[in-house]
Amino acid sequence: MSLTCLRFTVRAFLRKKVSHRRLQWEQLASGCELQKRSAGHFTFVPDTPSSSDGETARLNLYQAITNALDITLSNDPTAVIFGEDVAFGGVFRCTVGLQDKYGKHRVFNTPLCEQGIAGFGIGMAVAGATAVAEMQFADYIFPAFDQLVNEAAKYRYRSGGLFNCGGLTVRAPCGAVGHGALYHSQSPEAFFAHVPGLRIVMPRGPIQAKGLLRACVQDPDPCIFFEPKILYRLAVEQVPLKDYTLPLGKAQVLQEGDDITLVGWGTQVHVLREVAQMVQDKLNASCELIDLCTLMPWDKETVANSVRKTGRLLVAHEAPLTAGLGAEIAAAIQEECFLSLEAPVQRVTGFDTPFPHIFEPFYLPDKWRCFDAIKKIMNY
Amino acid sequence: MYGRLLATFRHGILRPKIPYCWLSSSQRRALVTEAEASFQAPTMMHRRMPTTTRMEFVPANAHDGIPMYSILNKDGTVADGAEDPKLDKDLLLRMYTKMMQMNIIDHIMYESQRQGRISFYMTHYGEEGVLIGSAAALDDKDLVYVQYREYGVLLWRGFTLNQTMQQCYSTMYDYGKGRQMPIHYGSTQHHFVTVSSTLATQMPQAVGTAYAYKMSQKKQCVACYFGDGAASEGDAHAAFNFAGTLSVPIIFICRNNGYAISTPTHEQYSCDGIAARGPSYGLTTIRVDGQDILAMYQAMQESRRFVLEEQKPILIEAMTYRIGHHSTSDDSTAYRSVDEVRTWDEQGHPITRLRHYLMDRGYWTEQQDKELQTAFKKEVLQTIKEVEKVPKPPIRDLFTDVYKDMPPHLEEQMKYMMGHVKQYRDQYPVDLFAKEQS
């Protein structure tokens, strides 16, 4: 066998491996092609951009992310994007075309080592550069927990403001995907919400994703941006092509109502939107729907104002119940709105188990569990 | 058998192997057949590796015996075959003075902790040569990431006694606003990244900064210090590997001082120290006698030239000995003999070695030595006296700098705390702290 031939064989082999893997995750992302189990868990309703937003394009969530990263690289010569497999476009296609456009020094693969990726990103940010690091799955962010919690979050504080790593943004696909089981489904936001110094953000769709990611990149504090991976291909809407940001630390009231406040983030917002309709239809009650958007520091004021009006609160998230972010919101709201509350705050969440494979439909806080909880609150 | 294995290795034939499962059986056969005809197969990802028909294992001790670069003998004379670098007299005297100053500060601050005046301290006894020797060869603008036992680099760069004491005494003039334990120094002015207690976390960060320097074509490198114990952390592996694959201008300096608190190096690793790991990550590597400041300086100077020109990393393993206790919270006689410590202290201590070298050349005298000591001790004590009177930072600094701007929930918590402390004023040491501005 000639040298060239052998080289070719190895390359072909690698290509095959990569494309196989890509296929696998595309199927994962699309959710229901291989397995029907996740179908019906929620329905995505697109947002409508305002007419003042200028030109728009029909983009799904991963394309909106790519668009935000593209703008970042073109506006900021210090910006770099790195992580495992980002060079060829990423296992979820979020970085497709960026290396060709901006070069190998600005969009590159790192060795397979999450603590290294986070530490490396912090170091770039310390030097004043804009570092957008990718963790392939939020489930694999834990090896970087030390770097993010002990280092990134505390950099400014411990140095008295001399040094900071505000230029760091960590992106990580998160949440249920239909059949991701234990290590392709987790929502680890509560682990990080317990850490002073980090901003934790999760969008519910492409318009939000672009605006919030751009805000994270420009924010002077280190941010972790969780991307609900089930929405990557499934969520499609008209996304403004111009550069824009959405405010961090601000929740959005998506739907006004008088009888109960529903709080969620990421994919769960879409579950709650359906639930609100069910409640309207079946119970003749109106729900106020709030997307928290930023999970740390979260917008207590908007939620409290809503609960003062409605007197009832339901918080829903995919992550387990105990010490989940719902606990923080429930505790803060009962303290803030004690005299307004007409029923105990309810949490509808994942169970206190690891995220299971075949049992996913029974694990998720789906619309029926949310609906039932609301029924109980309304009858309290 | 064993000798043959070693011999094979020395000829440089053995290299990392591609797992056979990646190749089809026909390819495997092809490789084997062609190997017979000295076929040099180009294989995985730009790495050449020869094939062999003999089953040979690389012995675990294949990398053993990396020699230690040294210039000075223990008595300060130049070793046979070594070249006297003939450094400038002023530079030599500055190096010596700074080492002495480190030593004096350490003695006084150690006592200060023993008297309960500061909460914590870590000395640098025995490692002065590594720190001053390496710092002297760096450009003062090269960013330095350290572990915690590297005060010498700051001192070399002109961090004042006053700044030092403000940090250790956690006053309102401490750059870190009194938030961290003593010896967690940091200074942007001196290009010295603030120390954190977490071991090895600074290592991949230093690589990130070096990458940013490379991208911006800044003609500076990054120096990253760590101990032999920290090198066992996963972050050290991450840093070496990232530095190698991303090819960045960084100098890793390992202070191998024989212990990580109570753990001796033979319980830390079973290979030939930290240096032996370098080449396996693609790091150009050297082992240096850390007790020999001239060797340290020369190696560091050459490393800096190399990393800037090649934009590639270097690993220096500086062999030294931790003469002092690990920290003021540690009594090292619980795990090592006083004799062992005495041997290192008396034979070939970096300060003594350089002193002999200087005296042999007529650059320094006993008299000057005494004068330096007396004058500097006085200066340190005077500074402490002044700093001890300085108030602690304003209490609100407990809440600032968590984020760049204070978020509403922190604002709320700060308001609550201020109100509470006002009401229970007698229960808190309020008077020690600076008055609030507003």
For chain B, percent of residues with pLDDT exceeding 90? 85
Determine the pLDDT at residue B44: 60
Determine the pLDDT at residue A24: 52
Across the interface, whether the CB atoms of A113 and B175 are under 8 A apart is answered: no
Determine the pLDDT at residue B371: 98
* Residue from A85, A5, A28, A59 nearest A209 by CA: A59
Q: Can you tell me the distance from the alpha carbon of A377 to that of A313, in angstroms, rounded to the nearest whole number?
A: 8
Across the interface, whether the CB atoms of B184 and A156 are under 8 A apart is answered: no
Determine the pLDDT at residue B437: 62
Here the ipTM equals 0.90
Residues of chain A found within 8 Å of residue B401, distances taken between Cβ atoms: 156-157, 160-161
Residue-wise pLDDT for B59-77, tens only, equals 998 888 999 999 999 999 9
Q: A255 pairs with which residues across the strands?
A: A289
Q: Can you tell me the distance from the alpha carbon of B147 to that of B236, in angstroms, rounded to the nearest whole number?
A: 12
- Smallest CA–CA distance, residue B210 to chain A, in Å, is 8
Determine the pLDDT at residue A40: 63
Write out the CATH class of domain A56-240.
alpha beta
- Smallest CA–CA distance, residue B140 to chain A, in Å, is 16
Q: Can you tell me the distance from the alpha carbon of A88 to that of A65, in angstroms, rounded to the nearest whole number?
A: 16
* Residue from A76, A178, A51 nearest A132 by CA: A76
Give the HSE-up count for residue B302: Cα atoms under 13 Å, Cβ half-sphere. 14
Residues of chain A found within 8 Å of residue B408, distances taken between Cβ atoms: 297, 300-301
- Smallest CA–CA distance, residue B339 to chain A, in Å, is 39
Give Cβ neighbours of residue B245 (< 8 Å, ≥ 6 apart): A110, A111, B282
Determine the pLDDT at residue B22: 40
DSSP secondary structure code for residue B17 in this structure: P
Instruction: Give whole-number Cα distances, B199 to A174, A302, A327, B25, in Å.
Output: 29, 41, 33, 46
CB A206 within 8 A of CB A63: yes
Residues of chain A found within 8 Å of residue B245, distances taken between Cβ atoms: 110-111
CB A227 within 8 A of CB A61: yes
Region B22-45 average pLDDT: 46
Q: Is the pLDDT of residue A2 over 90?
A: no
- In this predicted structure, which of A27-41, A227-241, B350-364, B399-413 has the lowest mean pLDDT? A27-41
CB A365 within 8 A of CB A175: no
Residue found under tokens 């002297």: B136
Q: Is the pLDDT of residue A48 over 60?
A: yes
Residues of chain A found within 8 Å of residue B198, distances taken between Cβ atoms: 146, 150-151
Radius of gyration of chain B measured on its C-alpha atoms? 26
Across the interface, whether the CB atoms of B235 and A10 are under 8 A apart is answered: no
- In this predicted structure, which of A9-18, B111-120, B172-181 has the lowest mean pLDDT? A9-18
User: How many Cβ atoms sit within 10 Å of the Cβ of residue A103?
Assistant: 11
Determine the pLDDT at residue B436: 75
Determine the pLDDT at residue A237: 97
Across the interface, whether the CB atoms of A124 and B188 are under 8 A apart is answered: no
- Report which residue type is found at B7: A
Radius of gyration of chain A measured on its C-alpha atoms? 21
Give Cβ neighbours of residue A163 (< 8 Å, ≥ 6 apart): A126, A155, A156, B186, B188, B193, B194
Residue A88 class from Cβ within 10 Å (0-12 exposed, 13-18 middle, 19+ buried)? middle
Q: Can you tell me the distance from the alpha carbon of A124 to that of A281, in angstroms, rounded to the nearest whole number?
A: 53
Residues of chain B found within 8 Å of residue A113, distances taken between Cβ atoms: 234, 237-238, 241-242
Q: Can you tell me the distance from the alpha carbon of B133 to that of B96, in angstroms, rounded to the nearest whole number?
A: 10
Return the residue of A nearest to B217 by Cα: A78
Q: Is the pLDDT of residue A226 over 90?
A: yes
Candidates B235, B245, B405; nearest CB to A111 = B245
Dihedral over alpha carbons B90, B96, B98, B101 (to 10 degrees)? -140
Q: Can you tell me the distance from the alpha carbon of B379 to that of B165, in angstroms, rounded to the nearest whole number?
A: 12
Residues of chain A found within 8 Å of residue B212, distances taken between Cβ atoms: 78, 123-124, 127-129
- Please tell me the pTM assigned to this model: 0.90
Return the residue of B nearest to A297 by Cα: B407
Residue found under tokens 């739907």: A255
Residue-wise pLDDT for A171-193, tens only, equals 999 999 999 999 999 999 999 99
Give Cβ neighbours of residue A212 (< 8 Å, ≥ 6 apart): A201, A203, A225, A245, A246, A248, A293, A294
Confidence of residue B438 (pLDDT cuts 50, 70, 90): low
Instruction: Give whole-number Cα distances, A180 to A319, A356, B268, in Å.
Output: 14, 8, 39
Q: Can you tell me the distance from the alpha carbon of B22 to that of B27, in angstroms, rounded to the nearest whole number?
A: 10
Candidates B184, B204, B402; nearest CB to A116 = B204
Determine the pLDDT at residue B347: 86
Candidates B42, B188, B212; nearest CB to A124 = B212
Candidates A128, A151, A166; nearest CB to B198 = A151
Return the structure tokens found at B249.
Answer: 């201008």
Candidates B30, B194, B216; nearest CB to A158 = B194
Query: What residues does each domain of chain A span?
Result: 56-240, 252-378
Residues of chain B found within 8 Å of residue A17, distances taken between Cβ atoms: none
Candidates B188, B206, B235; nearest CB to A162 = B188
Across the interface, whether the CB atoms of A110 and B245 are under 8 A apart is answered: yes
Q: Is the pLDDT of residue B308 over 80?
A: yes
Across the interface, whether the CB atoms of A127 and B203 are under 8 A apart is answered: no
Residue-wise pLDDT for B81-123, tens only, equals 999 999 999 999 999 999 999 999 999 999 999 999 999 999 9
Return the residue of A nearest to B31 by Cα: A1
Phi, psi of B411 (to 5 degrees): -55, -45
CA angle B55, B60, B64 (to 5 degrees): 125
Return the structure tokens found at A61.
Answer: 């969530």
- Smallest CA–CA distance, residue A294 to chain B, in Å, is 12
Q: B145 pairs with which residues across the strands?
A: B224
Return the structure tokens found at A28.
Answer: 């994962």
Determine the pLDDT at residue B24: 43
| Strand ranges across the sheet with A294-296 | A107-109, A80-83, A131-134, A168-174, A223-228, A199-201, A294-296
Residue-wise pLDDT for A246-282, tens only, equals 999 999 999 999 999 999 999 999 999 999 999 999 9
Fold of B68-387: Rossmann fold (3.40.50)
Residue B209 class from Cβ within 10 Å (0-12 exposed, 13-18 middle, 19+ buried)? buried
Across the interface, whether the CB atoms of A159 and B403 are under 8 A apart is answered: no
Residue-wise pLDDT for A342-367, tens only, equals 999 999 999 999 999 999 999 999 99
Determine the pLDDT at residue B187: 98
Q: Is A184 a catalytic residue?
A: yes
Query: What residues does each domain of chain B span?
Result: 2-40, 68-387, 395-432
Residue-wise pLDDT for B394-429, tens only, equals 999 999 999 999 999 999 999 999 999 999 999 999
* Residue from B199, B202, B169 nearest B261 by CA: B199
Across the interface, whether the CB atoms of A124 and B22 are under 8 A apart is answered: no
- Annotated catalytic residue: which of A41, A84, A114, A328? A114
Across the interface, whether the CB atoms of A162 and B203 are under 8 A apart is answered: no
Candidates A106, A111, A221; nearest CB to B403 = A221
Confidence of residue B348 (pLDDT cuts 50, 70, 90): confident
Confidence of residue B41 (pLDDT cuts 50, 70, 90): low
Across the interface, whether the CB atoms of B201 and A113 are under 8 A apart is answered: no
* Residue from A283, A276, A279, A338 nearest A311 by CA: A338
Same fold, A56-240 and A252-378: yes
Q: Can you tell me the distance from the alpha carbon of B100 to that of B375, in angstroms, rounded to the nearest whole number?
A: 12
Under DSSP, is residue B106 helix (H, G, I), strand (E, B) or coil? helix
Please state which CATH number belongs to domain A252-378.
3.40.50.920
Higher-pLDDT residue of A355, A20: A355
What angle, 0 to 180 degrees and rounded to 10, lies between the N-to-C axes of helices A206-218 and A61-75? 30
Across the interface, whether the CB atoms of A166 and B27 are under 8 A apart is answered: no
Higher-pLDDT residue of A13, B144: B144
Determine the pLDDT at residue A357: 97
Across the interface, whether the CB atoms of B175 and A131 are under 8 A apart is answered: no
- Smallest CA–CA distance, residue B430 to chain A, in Å, is 21
Kindly state the helix (H) or strand (E) to which residue B91 belongs, with its residue range: helix B89-114
